[in-house]
Amino acid sequence: MLPLKPAPIVLTGRVVELRPLDLDADVARLYEISNGSAQLGAPAYDPEPVIWRYMGAGPFEDEAAMRGFLTGLNHTPNLLPLCVWRGTDLLGIQTLMSNSPGDLKIELGHIWYTPAAQGTGALAEATYLMLGHAFDLGYQRVEWKCNALNERSRRVALRMGFQFEGIQEAHVILKNRRRDTAWFRILAEEWPALREKFYAAEQR
């Protein structure tokens, strides 16, 4: 039986490495790369529309507020936050969440990146590393859910090979607003062909 709390794991690819969130070591840097300041050669930006508009929290007024949010993620019994690194550069976070081991399904979520990560291939490789890990563990379904208004996230899900299943209206209340949620999924039997296609493209 798989555990409710996904076991900590380090996943290493060609571009990125995913490591479990370390609150003491990572929070200050995560706040720095997500608060709108210029980072890694990218210009300053407004963090609300660029990162946080469709997330359940943020933007955060200070490092302490972000720490409180991330502490909550770390303590969620069916969720594992993973920091995405490219060498010594911290780029963002992805999580294994909504874990239902008895049903052999899990979700990739709470995904955000600093704008400087655009064009690096970090999101694609991190997603495929997490998908490979989940299916290697024996999961039969990996989900991706997002605000139905979040066109960027919906495009990414389709590009990664997730299948659109529909929109659940009035799914949750986030930031005092009703959210309609777009559902996507990949099944275990679909994964081998997606994995082969992704890694073949990487070799070109």
pLDDT in tens, 125-170: 999 999 999 999 999 999 999 999 999 999 999 999 999 999 999 9
Domain ranges of the chain: 11-203
Q: Which CATH superfamily is domain 11-203 in?
A: Gcn5-related N-acetyltransferase (GNAT) (3.40.630.30)
Predicted local confidence at residue 147, as pLDDT: 97
Give residue-wise pLDDT tens across range 53-111: 999 999 999 999 999 999 999 999 999 999 999 999 999 999 999 999 999 999 999 99
pLDDT attached to residue 202: 65
Tell me which DSSP letter residue 55 carries. S
Which pLDDT value is given to residue 153?
Answer: 97
- Structure pTM? 0.95
How buried is residue 134: exposed, middle or buried, by Cβ count under 10 Å (0-12/13-18/19+)?
buried
Q: Is the pLDDT of residue 197 over 90?
A: no
- Give the pLDDT confidence of 12-63 residue by residue, as tens digits: 999 999 999 999 999 999 999 999 999 988 999 999 999 999 999 999 999 9
